[in-house]
Amino acid sequence: MAGNRNIFQKVLNAAIFILMEVAALNMISHNAALQNIWLSRGAHRIMGALWGTSESVRYYFSLRKQNEALAEENFDLRQQLLRAGKNLPVERPDSSAGAFTYIPAEISVISRNKQHNYMIINKGYEDGIQANSGIITGKGVIGIIDAVGKHHAYALTFMNTDVSISARLGSEGAVGPLVWDGLSSSGAILKEIPLQFKYEPGDTVYTSGYSSIFPSDIPLGIAGDSRIINGATNEIKVRLLQDFSALRYVTVVHNNNLEEMEALLQ
């Protein structure tokens, strides 16, 4: 009770103090031109700072909306690029870009600290998502859809010791399986690269296209050091372009010819 009275007294004193100071400032500004200009300038500066701060706060809270808009725009641009690509002379006869459908999605849940990591995206079969579709970003492969619900889908991420992606060193280099190194969110290993194949650390690693899930030529990472395994093949460290610790918006990619290809394999 005494504490409450104390607080009330302090608030009252502060209010009286502010009131008196405002009254004094008002007297000064009405009786001296110089002080009036000085106080006006000060008031404008304070208003400017407050306005700037409130704008910064509002801008911060609008970032989510802006991110979503940018992801949508990014997706539209990618679609336009693909459509434009169909009308251009075909440089790579094996390009399968036209055979894929792309759907933008947002990650709802993602795990990063396990050996078998997973994610859940905010699109399901009502949005056209199908099992065995790939998940990509402009910086690499993110995972593979494993199960699909009405509005959400479950996927294994690339940070999973069971997931392997067919990758190629450089634009026309050797192909091998790329797997997560199991240590960091941006490390991978490109395996089974023949010894006779020469490469330079710093070469880009792409998806090979020898997969029914991912289109070719998606940049995945940068090649680093290598070591010889059993005297037969090279194992190359790869630094992934996409850092999984900063991931939110993705694109689901589905091969329209997947069923036909699987039927032929059977």
Partner 1 sequence: MRKSSFFFVYALMVIAQILICNYFHLTSFVMLSILPVLVLCIPIRISTTGSLLIAFVTGFVVDLLAEGVLGLNTLALVPVGLIRIPLIRLVFGEDLISRNEDFSVRKYGFGKVTLAILIVQAVFLIIYILADGAGTRPIEFNAIRFGASLLAGYLLSLILIDTLAPDTRK
50 lies in the binding site for partner 1 (CB under 8 A): no
16 lies in the binding site for partner 1 (CB under 8 A): yes
**Count of residues near partner 1 by CB under 8 A:** 21
Per the structure block, which two tokens stand in for 174? 């050797």
Region of 7-15, 60-68, 130-138, 242-250 interacting with partner 1 (CB under 8 A): 7-15
Closest distance between partner 1 and the C-beta of residue 53, in Å? Answer: 23
* Phi, psi (deg, nearest 5) at residue 178: -105, 125
CB 188 within 8 A of CB 240: yes
**Among 7, 37, 63, 261, interactor with partner 1 by CB under 8 A:** 37
CB 151 within 8 A of CB 121: no
41 lies in the binding site for partner 1 (CB under 8 A): yes
11 lies in the binding site for partner 1 (CB under 8 A): no
Q: What is the DSSP letter of 220?
A: E
8 lies in the binding site for partner 1 (CB under 8 A): no
Closest distance between partner 1 and the C-beta of residue 60, in Å? Answer: 33
For 114, counting Cβ atoms within 10 Å of its Cβ (0-12 exposed, 13-18 middle, 19+ buried), the class is exposed
The nearer residue to partner 1, 35 or 216, going by C-beta atoms, is 35
**Among 17, 51, 59, 210, interactor with partner 1 by CB under 8 A:** 17
For 131, counting Cβ atoms within 10 Å of its Cβ (0-12 exposed, 13-18 middle, 19+ buried), the class is middle
25 lies in the binding site for partner 1 (CB under 8 A): yes
Closest distance between partner 1 and the C-beta of residue 51, in Å? Answer: 22
49 lies in the binding site for partner 1 (CB under 8 A): no
Region of 31-39, 57-65, 98-106, 176-184 interacting with partner 1 (CB under 8 A): 31-39
Residues in CB range of 126: below 8 A, 6 or more apart? 150, 151
32 lies in the binding site for partner 1 (CB under 8 A): yes
Judged by CB under 8 A, the chain residues 189 through 208 that form the site for partner 1 are none
For 208-218, b where at least 16 C-beta lie within 10 A, e where not — what string? bbebbbbbbeb
Q: Cα(25)–Cα(27) distance, rounded to whole angstroms?
A: 5
Per the structure block, which two tokens stand in for 158? 């690339």
**Among 1, 34, 263, 265, interactor with partner 1 by CB under 8 A:** 34
Instruction: Give the H/E segment covering residue 192.
Output: strand 187-194
Closest distance between partner 1 and the C-beta of residue 27, in Å? Answer: 3
**Among 12, 77, 109, 261, interactor with partner 1 by CB under 8 A:** 12
CB 193 within 8 A of CB 236: yes
Q: Cα(62)–Cα(54) distance, rounded to whole angstroms?
A: 12
Using CB under 8 A as the criterion, which residues of the chain lie in contact with partner 1 when the complex forms? 9, 12-13, 16-17, 20-21, 23-28, 30-32, 34-35, 37-38, 41
